[in-house]
């Protein structure tokens, strides 16, 4: 489940405003699905197929806009495509039926998913006695409209382009607010103890490790290492000595300099010696895995760590986001448990939220819980 947004595409929930009191079984002849006695009529489904098609056409100019979805023969779709796209006029009915089938197959799951989800949100809200007022809906609508459309003319253009009505938008806002209230109901409050436990369990996230800049000469033999150290002690430059004696490809041509070294990054022998060494003292030779090191620590950057008080706002926000995500998952799971068994779909409109859905063989999709 995702929160509703003011968008052209069906990246939101929507459904015709239906009651929640009726009971029944099966799917009425003028409907594509029935949820606990509340039908999704063919007219409502076609309306939202048009909205989704209009969105796709806006993103891919030349794509047909479906006015009526009429599987399996697609008579209306064939006629419509011929009218909308002249280059398709010479295609046979069989070819256009295949095109309509492909268009329908790629579009209808999106529409069905959001129509069903919108109902589930309403039904779950009614079951738990969660409600929003007309005033709250209008207030939220006004806020979102003001953010998205500076003037009413632009909003009217949006409605025309998307194929939606003001009632559609208000309904989507209502479902959004219901969903938000339901998620809030399932969201656990973050406690100070949780913040504290997270902090001490993830200290590395709230600071930086100590780093050191180190100049090294890595020599093949002990004799070469001693010669390099003697040259440095006499005042020869690291640039000259490293180039003459070092075999380390990383630092040989940069005066032996390794910047920002953290514990554990270098040869174990060098790592131990360098992080125990004072700054500015020439040391070595020490034997490592790859030869003999002469080194000098040239800079030490101390480790940093935020205090619990400093880190708490970030942790609070992260844990609150996790709690909200968990609540959203709980809402989805609970809604599906209560309402999917009562969501009956006509054969041509079956998808995974419908009772009795069975995934096509080889699809790797498991039938949903609650299916018959």
DSSP letters spanning 188-207:
PPPPHHHHHHHHHH-GGGGE
Cα-trace Rg, the chain = 33
pLDDT at residue 62, as a whole number: 64
Strand order in the sheet with 211-219: 257-262, 211-219, 292-301, 282-287
Pairing of strands 38-41, 31-35: antiparallel
Spatial CA neighbour of 255 closest among 272, 276, 238, 271: 238
In this structure, are strands 207-208 and 343-345 parallel, antiparallel, or unpaired? unpaired
Whether residue 219 contacts residue 247, with contact meaning beta carbons closer than 8 Å, is answered with: yes
Q: How far apart are CA 178 and CA 137, in angstroms?
A: 10
Tell me the C-alpha distance between 69 and 104, whole Å: 7
Domains, the chain, in order of start with CATH, read 31-188+322-349 (no CATH), 210-302 (3.10.50.40)
* DSSP letter for each residue of 16-50: ----S-----S--TTEEEEETTEEEEHHHHHHHHH
Cα–Cα distance for residue pair 208/137, rounded to 1 Å: 47
CA atoms within 13 A on the CB side of 160: 6
Dihedral through CA 120, CA 175, CA 105, CA 40, nearest 10? Answer: 60
What's the angle, vertex CA 261, arms to CA 258 and CA 265, rounded to 5? Answer: 110
- Where are the strands (E) in 19-148, listed by range? 31-35, 38-41
β-pairing, 211-219 vs 257-262, is: antiparallel
How far apart CA 231 and CA 238 sit, in angstroms, is 9
Calculate the CA 40 to chain-centre distance: 29
Are the C-beta atoms of residues 352 and 33 closer than 8 Å to each other?
A: no
Residues 124 and 338: beta-carbon distance below 8 Å: yes
The pLDDT, as a whole number, for residue 347 is 87
* pLDDT at 63 (0 to 100): 66
The two structure tokens encoding residue 249: 């490809």
**pLDDT, tens digit only, all 372 positions of the chain:** 333 344 434 433 333 333 333 333 478 888 999 998 899 998 898 889 888 888 877 777 766 666 666 777 888 788 877 877 777 778 888 888 888 888 787 788 889 998 999 999 999 999 999 999 999 999 999 999 999 998 999 999 999 888 899 999 999 999 999 999 999 999 999 999 999 999 999 998 999 999 999 999 999 999 999 999 999 999 999 999 999 999 999 899 999 999 999 999 999 999 999 999 999 999 999 999 999 999 999 999 999 999 999 999 999 999 999 999 999 999 999 999 999 999 999 988 898 899 988 876 655 444 433 333
Q: Which one, of 269, 245, 274, lies nearest residue 259 by Cα?
A: 274
């Amino acid at each position: 489940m995702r929160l509703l947004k003011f968008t052209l595409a069906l990246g939101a929930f929507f459904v015709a405003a239906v009651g929640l009191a009726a009971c029944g079984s099966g799917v009425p002849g003028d409907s594509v699905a029935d949820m606990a006695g509340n039908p999704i009529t063919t007219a409502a489904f076609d309306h939202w197929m048009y909205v989704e098609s209009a969105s796709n056409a806006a993103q891919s100019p030349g794509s047909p806009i479906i006015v009526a979805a009429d599987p399996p023969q697609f008579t209306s779709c064939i006629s419509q495509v011929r009218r909308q796209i002249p280059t398709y006029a010479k295609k046979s009915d069989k070819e256009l039926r295949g095109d309509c089938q492909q268009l329908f197959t790629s579009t209808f799951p999106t529409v069905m998913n959001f129509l069903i989800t919108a109902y589930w949100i309403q039904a779950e809200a009614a079951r738990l006695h969660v409600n929003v007022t007309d005033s709250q809906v209008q207030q939220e609508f006004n806020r979102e409209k003001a953010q998205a459309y500076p003037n009413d003319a632009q909003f009217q253009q949006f409605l025309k382009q998307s194929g939606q009505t003001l009632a559609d938008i208000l309904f989507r806002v209502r479902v959004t607010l219901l969903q938000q209230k339901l998620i809030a109901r399932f969201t656990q409050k973050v406690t100070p103890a949780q913040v504290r436990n997270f902090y001490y369990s993830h200290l590395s996230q709230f600071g930086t490790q100590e780093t050191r800049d180190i100049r090294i000469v890595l020599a093949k033999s002990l004799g070469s290492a001693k010669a390099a150290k003697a040259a440095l002690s006499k005042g020869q430059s690291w640039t000259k000595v490293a180039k003459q004696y070092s075999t380390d490809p990383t630092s040989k041509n940069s005066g032996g300099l390794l910047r920002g070294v953290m514990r554990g990054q270098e040869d174990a022998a060098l790592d131990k010696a360098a992080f125990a060494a004072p700054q500015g003292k020439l040391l070595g030779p020490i034997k490592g895995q790859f030869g003999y090191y002469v080194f000098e620590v040239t800079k030490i950057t101390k480790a940093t760590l935020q205090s619990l008080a400093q880190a708490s706002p970030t942790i609070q926000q992260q844990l609150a986001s996790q709690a909200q995500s968990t609540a959203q998952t709980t809402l989805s799971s609970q809604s599906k448990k209560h309402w999917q068994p009562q969501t009956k779909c006509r054969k041509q409109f079956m998808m995974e939220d419908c009772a009795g859905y069975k995934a096509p063989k080889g699809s790797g999709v498991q039938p949903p819980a609650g299916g018959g």
